């Protein structure tokens, strides 16, 4: 018995396998001994201060399907010609085999004509056509990722600023306790119950709220988040205005100089940091509000 006959006998004993591509049914030695399939989840990762990160899922992509086998017998040439025509057509076909079923397009086909066309080894390459993804689900998933990234960033920058501003207040208290005008406004702003501390708590809540959203979230969830973002935006603006006023006051009390001494410089530096962070937070918060509105989630 020939080698191909032995292989055929073994496969017959193991049972017929369901392996098809469009109108072509693969049998015996035409069926590959192995078929690799799988894919990958495309992601975007945003790293944040302190080791946190946001991972946005952009969808799962199947790897191409590639296999080979041997056509044999009187129908070998006809099968090879049919697959060649299918590859040239650019049409999509249903593939079934190896425990999976996929919609594919043939990207390449190779055949080797031997034994007067009675034995034809072949190779075939197929690109998997992705399943239709709900536009709404995809939009919501992307929206949640953007909101989580922006609100987490706002929380991180404010937390970092509070730590820096606290150090400035501590230093000012030690070197300039006689001039409360440079210490008190800053201390009241960042201290327990102050506007900066309140904003930090609000941003922490926003970050947690955004992180809890999913593609199945209701319109009410996004409406509540948008309302809370608006409240935080107003508080952020108030903080910006307060520090802007203090910088103007420090300049006015310096008798024409930008600052009159070390304590004034430290206070001005602290308030400048608050201005910069408030402006950055405003960008994060405004973009978050706009993204919710533009997504038509609330319509």
pLDDT value of residue 219: 74
- CA dist 77 and 65 (Å) reads 23
Whether residue 157 is predicted with pLDDT greater than 80 in this model: the reply is: yes
Give the percent of the chain with pLDDT over 70: 80
Does residue 191 contact residue 166 with C-beta atoms inside 8 Å? Answer: no
Counting every residue written for the chain, the total comes to 299
- CA dist 133 and 265 (Å) reads 57
Q: What is the pLDDT of residues 129-151, one digit of tens each?
A: 987 655 455 566 777 888 888 88
- CA dist 12 and 1 (Å) reads 15
- CA dist 46 and 140 (Å) reads 18
pLDDT value of residue 299: 47
The model's confidence at residue 63, banded by pLDDT at 50, 70 and 90, is: very high
Arithmetic mean of pLDDT, 265-282: 84
Distances (CA, A) of 294 to 82, 213, 288: 49, 17, 10
Arithmetic mean of pLDDT, 159-164: 81
In this predicted model, which residue has the larger pLDDT, 181 or 244?
A: 244
Phi and psi based region of residue 45 (left: phi greater than 0; alpha: psi -120 to 50; beta: remaining) = beta
Residues whose CB is less than 8 angstroms from the CB of residue 62 and which lie 6 or more positions away in sequence, other chains included: 37, 38, 39, 102, 128, 130
């Amino acid at each position: 018995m020939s080698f191909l006959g032995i292989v055929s006998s073994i496969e017959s004993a193991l049972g017929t396998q369901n392996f098809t591509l469009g109108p072509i049914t693969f049998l015996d030695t035409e069926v590959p001994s192995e078929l690799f399939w799988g894919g990958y989840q495309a992601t975007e990762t945003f790293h944040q201060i302190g080791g946190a990160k946001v991972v946005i899922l952009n969808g799962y992509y199947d790897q191409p399907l590639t296999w080979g086998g041997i056509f044999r017998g009187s129908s070998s040439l006809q099968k090879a010609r049919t697959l060649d025509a299918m590859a040239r057509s650019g049409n999509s076909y249903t593939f079934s085999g190896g425990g999976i079923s996929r919609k594919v397009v043939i990207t390449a086909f190779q055949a080797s004509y031997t034994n007067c066309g009675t034995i034809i080894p072949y190779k075939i390459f197929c690109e998997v056509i992705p399943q239709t993804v709900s536009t709404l689900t995809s939009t919501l998933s992307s929206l949640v990722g953007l909101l989580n990234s922006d609100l987490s960033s706002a929380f991180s920058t404010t937390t970092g600023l509070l730590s820096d501003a606290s150090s400035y207040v501590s230093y000012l208290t030690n070197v300039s306790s006689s001039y409360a005008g440079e210490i008190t406004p800053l201390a009241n702003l960042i201290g327990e119950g102050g506007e900066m501390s309140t904003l930090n708590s609000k941003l922490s809540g926003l970050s947690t709220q955004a992180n809890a959203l999913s593609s199945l979230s209701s319109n009410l969830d996004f409406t509540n988040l948008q309302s809370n973002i608006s409240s935080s935006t107003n508080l952020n603006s108030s903080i910006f205005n307060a520090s802007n006023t203090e910088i103007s006051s420090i300049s006015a009390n310096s008798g024409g100089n930008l600052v009159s001494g070390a304590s004034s410089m430290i206070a001005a530096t602290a308030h400048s940091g608050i201005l910069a962070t408030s402006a950055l937070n405003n960008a994060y918060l405004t973009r978050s509000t706009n993204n919710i509105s533009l997504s038509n989630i609330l319509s």
